[in-house]
């Protein structure tokens, strides 16, 4: 009986130990769950942080793309400015070429005009000489006409032929009319020559004034072209400096792009690592969930077994109580038997008691064997649970080490990402400052170009207005020159007509010579007639005297 009590006490102690170990294991499982949940939260926080970093990287990549677009826009604007500058240079060169051609044409026209004026002056001098010669000839003709008049008067006095006198009178009248006409023409030509001299002086004055104006405009245009060339040189220098700055910006952008690509590669590697870690974590999570499910199932089995053991223990306690009662009854019966033996010394009760004792011993032996079997089963299960717990602890340690490694990698990746963010922020700040400087310079260049273009347009408008005025003046001068040419042509025609008149005068002189010859012949004939008449008169006088004698 004492052995049974001792075994029951040992079973109770083992049950209490098992309960304590079960509580410890439950606490460990709860702590593992808490640690697992904390690690899940940390992983989620790390995942969110990495997503934020990836979003920031995407935003920075977008900013870099915007900066690239801005740089491309700046390059396109600079190319447009270069094209406009080239176009302005070509226009300036065209204007220079047109101006040079116009100057050459105007110089050629001026030379032609000078040559025409020289020809006109030479012709005028020749005409003056011809007029002087004509005057001398007219004076000679006047003297000849006076002489011829006198001779004709004498001839009229001396002549008796009416027809010859009438003819001679007609010739004299015609000569006088021609003389008056020639005199009138000479007066008219003198007046025209005076007008032509005045117009020639005016043209010379206008030509000198236009020449001075053209020289002034030429000097002004040369100064303006020099200023435009200087401004173009300054603008080209500014554009070259902007191109160098843009090249520096492009190089910085290329470097930033290479860094960004390397960062993207690193981020992709980190993302792949993180995805692998997440996949491993999910796999381990699934395994842990399966293990937790198995552990929960095993715990449920253990709980059910513990319940069964408790039920068995209660049954054993009940059986022990019954056995104690039976022992008490047996003790009482033994006491009664002893008393009865003492009293009666019967043998039937002893046989019954011996049978009961044997039954009790058999039951006690069966109970002890069952308890030993159950203890062995419980010990084997406890060892299995301890092995599982140890394996779980080793797995948890490995996972904790992996988590620590992942945390270290996350810290290193955070530090690298922070450094990269700082570098990107610095580069973006530098790039923004350079872009702002480039924008400011470009806006200043735009303003300067606009001012330069406005000044150029104003100057071009002024030059075009001056050119138009000069062209109008040239057109007026051309018209005047054409008029003068027409006048000169008319003068040449008149000179030709005067030459014709000269020829007519020469013909008249020849006719006068012929008339002189005729007059001389008439005079000779008259003298002969007079001499004959005198001779006849003298002969008649002699004849008249001789018959009287």
* Residue 80 lies inside a defined structural domain of this protein: yes
Instruction: Tell me if 511 is assigned to some domain.
Output: yes
518: domain range? Answer: 2-343+354-529
Assigned domain for 367 exists: yes
pLDDT at site 57: 73
Three-state SS letters, 60-94? HHHHHHHHHHHHHHHHHHHHHHHHHHHHHHHHHHH
> 344: which DSSP letter?
T
User: Do the domain assignments include residue 287?
Assistant: yes
Judged by average pLDDT, the poorest of 101-115, 172-186, 335-349 is: 335-349
d(CA 326, CA 342): 22
Work out how many domains the chain is built from and give that number: 1
In this structure, is residue 177 part of a structural domain? Answer: yes
Longest dimension (CA), the chain: 284
Please give the pLDDT value at position 493.
Answer: 65
For residue 228, is it within any domain? yes
Mean pLDDT throughout 121-145? 68
Backbone angles phi, psi at 147, to 5 degrees: -60, -45
Does any domain span residue 68? yes
Q: What pLDDT is recorded for position 542? A: 46
The interaxial angle of helices 162-343 and 348-548, nearest 10 deg, is: 180
Whether 349 maps to a domain, the answer reads no
Per-residue model confidence as pLDDT tens digits over 360-412: 667 656 666 666 676 677 677 667 766 766 776 677 677 667 767 766 776 77
Query: Pick from 381, 333, 373: which is nearest to 355 by CA?
Result: 333
Give the pTM: 0.32
Is the model's pLDDT at 498 over the cut of 60?
no
User: 92 with 236: CB under 8 angstroms?
Assistant: no
Q: How confident is the model at residue 546 (pLDDT cuts 50, 70, 90)?
A: very low
Which two three-digit tokens encode residue 130? 């011809």
Q: Which residue has the higher pLDDT, 272 or 492?
A: 272
């Amino acid at each position: 009986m004492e052995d049974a009590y001792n075994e029951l006490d040992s079973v109770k102690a083992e049950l209490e130990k098992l309960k304590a170990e079960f509580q410890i294991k439950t606490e460990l499982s709860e702590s593992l769950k808490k640690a697992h949940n904390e690690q899940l939260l940390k992983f989620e926080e790390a995942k969110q942080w990495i997503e934020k970093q990836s979003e920031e990287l995407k935003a920075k990549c977008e900013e870099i793309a915007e900066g690239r677009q801005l740089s491309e826009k700046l390059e396109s604007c600079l190319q447009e400015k270069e094209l406009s500058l080239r176009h302005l240079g070509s226009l300036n060169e065209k204007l220079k070429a047109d101006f040079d051609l116009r100057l050459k044409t105007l110089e050629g026209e001026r030379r032609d005009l000078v040559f025409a004026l020289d020809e006109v002056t030479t012709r005028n001098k020749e005409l003056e000489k011809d007029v002087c010669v004509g005057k001398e000839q007219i004076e000679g003709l006047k003297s000849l006409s006076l002489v011829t008049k006198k001779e004709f008067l004498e001839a009229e006095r001396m002549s008796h032929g009416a027809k010859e006198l009438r003819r001679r009178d007609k010739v004299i009248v015609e000569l006088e009319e021609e003389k008056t006409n020639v005199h009138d023409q000479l007066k008219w030509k003198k007046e025209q020559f005076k007008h032509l001299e005045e117009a020639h002086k005016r043209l010379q004055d206008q030509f000198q004034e236009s020449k001075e104006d053209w020289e002034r405009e030429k000097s002004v245009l040369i100064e303006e072209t020099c200023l435009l060339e200087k401004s173009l040189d300054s603008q080209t220098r500014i554009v070259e400096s902007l191109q160098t700055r843009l090249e520096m910006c492009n190089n910085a952008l290329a470097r930033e792009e290479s860094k960004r690509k390397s960062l993207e590669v690193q981020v992709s590697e980190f993302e792949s690592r993180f995805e692998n870690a997440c996949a491993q974590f999910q796999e381990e999570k699934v395994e842990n969930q399966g293990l937790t499910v198995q552990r929960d199932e095993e715990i449920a089995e253990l709980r059910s077994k513990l319940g069964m053991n408790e039920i068995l223990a209660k049954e054993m306690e009940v059986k022990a109580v019954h056995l104690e009662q039976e022992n008490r009854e047996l003790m009482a019966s033994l006491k009664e038997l002893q008393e009865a033996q003492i009293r009666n010394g019967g043998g039937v009760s002893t046989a019954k008691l011996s049978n009961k004792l044997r039954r009790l011993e058999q039951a006690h032996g069966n109970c002890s064997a069952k308890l030993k079997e159950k203890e062995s089963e419980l010990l084997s299960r406890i060892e299995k649970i301890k092995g599982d717990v140890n394996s779980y602890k080793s797995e948890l340690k490995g996972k904790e080490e992996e988590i620590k490694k992942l945390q270290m990698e996350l810290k290193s990746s955070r530090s690298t990402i922070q450094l990269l963010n700082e570098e990107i922020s610095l580069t973006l700040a530098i790039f923004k400052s350079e872009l702002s400087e480039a924008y400011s310079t470009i806006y200043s260049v735009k303003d300067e170009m606009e001012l330069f273009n406005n000044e150029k347009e104003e100057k071009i408008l002024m030059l075009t207005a001056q050119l138009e005025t000069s062209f109008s003046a040239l057109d007026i001068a051309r018209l005047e020159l054409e008029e003068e040419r027409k006048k000169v042509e008319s003068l040449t025609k008149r000179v030709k007509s005067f030459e014709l008149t000269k020829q007519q005068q020469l013909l008249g002189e020849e006719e006068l010579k012929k008339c002189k010859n005729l007059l001389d012949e008439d005079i000779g004939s008259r003298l002969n007639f007079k001499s004959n008449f005198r001779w006849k008169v003298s002969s008649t006088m002699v004849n008249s005297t001789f018959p009287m004698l």
